[in-house]
Chain A
Amino acid sequence: MCERPGNLRQIKVVERASLGTLFEAIEEEGYTIVGPTVREQTIVYDVLDSPDDLPVGWTDEHAEGTYRLARRDDDALFGYVVGPHTWKKYLFPPRIRLWSASRTSQGFEVNEEHRDLPKYAFLGVRACELNAILVQDNVFLKGPYIDPVYKSRRRNTLIVAVNCTQAGGACFCVSMDTGPKASGNFDLALTEVIEDGRHYFTIEVGSDRGREILGRVTGKDATKAETASAETAVSRAESQMGRVLDTKDIKEVFYNNYNHPRWDEVEKRCLACANCTMVCPTCFCTTVEDTTDLSGGQVERWRRWDSCFTTDFSFIVGGSIRQSTRSRYRQWITHKLATWIDQFGTSGCVGCGRCITWCPVGIDITEEARAIREKEPVDTSAGAEP
């Protein structure tokens, strides 16, 4: 976890040619650097060896149900927005064995799970994604029960944020108050500046650990002009943001509209494919699978990501509670934007736009929220007599 040091405003300038020294300084601390890299025509998160593994000169184009990589006319390293991966795959693995057990004459004996605890440095965490990590911290670390897998991985993780200098076609972080600039809870935060033939990064310190690492990186203290250029670049992202989600009284908007006709309408489009939940950086639902070997002597229990869009998700004896796609989409968006606030004190949406981009039929959460709000019918369902 990142602690807030006394002096937050230490900003260093590192030239593009010296960025490799940041990688070296992080690796010297024993971290495995993971971050954005191009694979199969997408920008995914994977292990990075050097700045050359970053998506050099690439950008990503987003629209409802559309994602394409495109060449930039410069060699920006962080000139894209977000891909289909999220950092949760490292903190909260998609599939993990919780434990295994062996049958004995007395019953069965649980074998302790020996986990290799990875020590990751996340490099290239967007402000929205940083907020998504904080949202999952609330889920996994702040309740009466703590998730030990998440806790051990989270504690070990170094966070190097990268402020956005452009908005993607699906972004709405400004509406959700989660970006485009990372405002704390990081170890280091970079802003990429390309101007007048010069390519450099301003790097802000967010923790003592970050300060130590930055101390070994080749660079110099930022001038006022360089800091101002970085700030201008970030404000460009803010002004480019095309999508808006109005969050005023949003909880009541959804609580009062469980029977809105829009749910029937969205059901005609939604495939219940669960893509939105898989790419969402805050979705945390899991299921467990119990397996045995052929003899029944060895049993294992696995946990894997699950989605509220499946029929099985709500199954109880007698049948699934949420039979219709209408009810499952309603559950998902109402959880993200409304019930999450009562459960965890924040919205479950950080405005990253992934669910819009990766929806195969282009359902847009901001448009659905607007439809629920703007065509609010008289609905007496909530609060009425049973």
Chain B
Amino acid sequence: MGFAPGQFNMIYVPGIGEVPISISGDPVDPIPVIHTVRAAGTVTTALCKMKAGDVVGIRGPYGSHWPVRESAGNDIVIVAGGIGLAPLRPAIYQLLSQRDHYGRLAFLCGTRTPREILYRHELEKWRSRFDLDVEITVDHPGEDWYGRVGVVTTLIPLAGVDPFDTTALVCGPEVMIRFTVAKLRQRGISTDNIYVSMERNMKCGIGLCGHCQYGREFVCKDGPVFPFSRIERFFKIREL
């Protein structure tokens, strides 16, 4: 099942329900299908209780994708907040699979606590590369945390990218997106080149049920990945 980074699948647990979950595997090597699930609602809790051999329903992939191929030649800055890293991981895989097509790669990752850092093993591996800048910060460190402390936006000045030829990929809570976009703009990156992934309620995933409407957009089929300039006029409206 091929997919583009940033797309999602609808995952169904028999009799319980269906949820949209981003794909967090490698688009170059898409089998097995990999999802990162946090037990948050009824369906995801049921998913997290499943054992090897249990069966789920799956349909997809749906939605728009991060402009990874389209950004060849550019510097790339990736900003992830918490579980927002899950839909960005395929983009990192794809970038690294054709590393020489891009300029500088900066990957900035923030979580609330060290416990919530996803894919720790992999992050450490990426951190040891000389062709990828990885910066990690947490809001609330524990006693055993020796890394950076603070919100993810504090990492943005560390990304030594050329603002005129940079593509930014941002995923996290909406409030994090808001401050991140503001900071990226301050650095001179155009909102045409800042891409964000939005979250809304979804029932169908194919633009028919109406739930995911966000202004004029259907997040499921027009998104979830949008150039920020496209949704800018709606972004700061509350309860949209």
- Give A contacts to B, CB under 8 Å: 101, 103, 106-108, 139-140, 143-145, 147, 255, 258-259, 284-288, 290-292, 296, 299, 306, 308, 313-317, 321-324, 326-327, 331, 335, 338-339, 342-343, 381-386
Do residues B182 and A288 form an inter-chain contact, with CB atoms below 8 A? no
Neighbouring B residues of A255 by C-beta, 8 Å: 233
Do residues B236 and A386 form an inter-chain contact, with CB atoms below 8 A? yes
Docked complex Cα distance between A308 and B208 (Å): 14
Do residues B211 and A290 form an inter-chain contact, with CB atoms below 8 A? no
Q: Which of B179-222 contact A (CB under 8 A)?
A: 181-182, 185, 199-201, 203-204, 206-211, 213, 215-216, 218, 221
Smallest beta-carbon distance B211→chain A, Å? 6
Do residues A382 and B233 form an inter-chain contact, with CB atoms below 8 A? yes
Smallest beta-carbon distance A325→chain B, Å? 10
Name, among B204, B207, B216, the residue most crowded by chain A CB atoms within 10 Å (CB to CB): B216
Smallest beta-carbon distance B18→chain A, Å? 7
Contact of A145 among B40, B54, B206, B240 (CB under 8 A): B206
Neighbouring A residues of B181 by C-beta, 8 Å: 386
Known: A145-B208, A290-B17, A317-B40. A386 touches B235 (CB 8 A): yes
Name, among B14, B54, B200, the residue most crowded by chain A CB atoms within 10 Å (CB to CB): B14
Docked complex Cα distance between A317 and B42 (Å): 11
Name, among B17, B200, B207, B213, the residue most crowded by chain A CB atoms within 10 Å (CB to CB): B213
Q: Is B48 part of the contact surface with A, judged by Cβ < 8 Å? A: no
Do residues A327 and B239 form an inter-chain contact, with CB atoms below 8 A? yes
Contact of B237 among A335, A338, A382 (CB under 8 A): A382
Neighbouring A residues of B54 by C-beta, 8 Å: 107
Q: Is B164 part of the contact surface with A, judged by Cβ < 8 Å? A: no
Docked complex Cα distance between A375 and B125 (Å): 59
Q: Is B32 part of the contact surface with A, judged by Cβ < 8 Å? A: no
12 contacts between A and B (CB under 8 A): A101-B14, A140-B208, A147-B208, A284-B210, A286-B209, A290-B15, A306-B210, A316-B199, A321-B200, A339-B213, A385-B185, A386-B181
Neighbouring A residues of B211 by C-beta, 8 Å: 285, 287, 306, 313-314
Interface size on B, residues (CB 8 A): 39
Docked complex Cα distance between A106 and B15 (Å): 16
Q: Is B52 part of the contact surface with A, judged by Cβ < 8 Å? A: no
Docked complex Cα distance between A382 and B237 (Å): 8
Q: Is B147 part of the contact surface with A, judged by Cβ < 8 Å? A: no
Smallest beta-carbon distance A310→chain B, Å? 11
Q: Is B178 part of the contact surface with A, judged by Cβ < 8 Å? A: yes
Neighbouring A residues of B115 by C-beta, 8 Å: none
Do residues B15 and A296 form an inter-chain contact, with CB atoms below 8 A? yes
Smallest beta-carbon distance B60→chain A, Å? 12
Neighbouring B residues of A139 by C-beta, 8 Å: 208
Which chain B residue shows the least CB distance to A338?
Answer: B216
Do residues B221 and A382 form an inter-chain contact, with CB atoms below 8 A? no
Docked complex Cα distance between A147 and B15 (Å): 22
